[in-house]
Amino acid sequence: MKTISENRCFGGVQGVYSHASQVTGCDMTLGLFLPEQAETGAVPVLWYLSGLTCTHENAMVKAGAQRWAAEAGIALVFPDTSPRGDGVANDAAYDLGQGAGFYVNATEKPWSPHFQMWDYITDELPNALFSAFPIAEEAQAISGHSMGGHGALTIAMSFPGRFRSVSAFAPICNPTASDWGRKQFAAYLGAEESTWAQYDATLLMRKRGFDGPILIDQGTQDQFVDLLKPESLAMAMAERRQGGSFRMQKGYDHSYFFVSTFMEEHVAFHAAALHA
C-alpha cells in the first residue's frame, strides 16, 4: 500500500492509499478510515461502495460517516468504483466504463482485461487490507449507494457468513430489468442473460436471501427511482419473508444530502451487528 495522504479525523485517521492490483491490471485508489481504537487492536469494518461516476473520494468527503464510525469504533473502507488509467477501456457515456464498474467481472472485450471489480472487492482488496491494517476479518459489514447499493446487496447475499449486516441507500434493485443494468451487463457480460442473474439483488433475494439484518432507504422524490426499481426488491423480500427494513423516505432524492441525512442510522445499524 502506498500512502497518498493521512489526516487526523475524529480521533482516528482518514487515509487515502493506492496499490497495484493484479486483478484489475492497474493501480487502484481507496479511502480507509481507522478509528482511534485501531491503535490498540483490530477493529470491525464497514465497506461502503459508491455509485455511478464516483471515485473513492465522494462518500469519504460527503457522507459524514467518519464521526459515527469513530464513536462506534469501526473502520470504513471506500473503494473506487472501477479500474482507471490510460490503458483502461472507457466510454463517452457516464454510465459505462471508468466510474461505472457495476461490481461485476467482465467477460467481454474491451472490458474484460481490467473490469474485474467483483474479484477485486470480494477477494484482492480485503486480503490486502487485512494484511496491512488492524482490521478484524471476522467482523465485516457492507453498505453502498445506488450502483454501490447494488454491489453491497449482491455481494452480501453471495458470501453467506462473511457480512454480519448489509444496508443500502437507493440501490439499483433489479438491474436485469432496468436500463441501469441491461446496458452495462450486455456490454460487460455479453448477450446471454442467464449470466446476469448472479448480479441482480432482486433475483438473489428470491433465490438466497441474506442471513443477517438488512436496512434499505429509498427517497420518494428520487429522480432515478424508475431505474432503481425498489418495488421489485421490496416484493422479493416480502415473498421470501426476509427480515429487514425497507424504508421509503418522504421527499428525499438521490443525492448525498439524502445519504448524509441517514448515515448516522446506518452506521449505528451496522455497529449493533458488528459488536454483537
Q: Active-site residue numbers? A: 146, 222, 254
Closest CA to 103 of 199, 175, 235, 220: 199
Between CA 32 and CA 115, with CA 121 as vertex, the angle to 5 degrees is 120
Provide DSSP, 82-110: S--STTS---SSTTSBTTB-TT-B--STT
Supply 49's cell numbers. Answer: 461502495
Q: How many residues does the chain have?
A: 276
Supply 29's cell numbers. Answer: 485508489
b/e map 47-60, b = 16+ CB within 10 Å? bbbbbbebbbebbb
41 backbone dihedrals φ, ψ, rounded to 5°: 170, 170
CA 194 centroid distance within chain: 23
Quick one: DSSP state of residue 120?
I
Closest CA to 88 of 28, 129, 30, 31: 28
Where do runs of H (alpha helix) occur along the chain?
57-62, 65-72, 117-119, 125-132, 147-158, 179-189, 201-207, 225-228, 230-240, 256-274
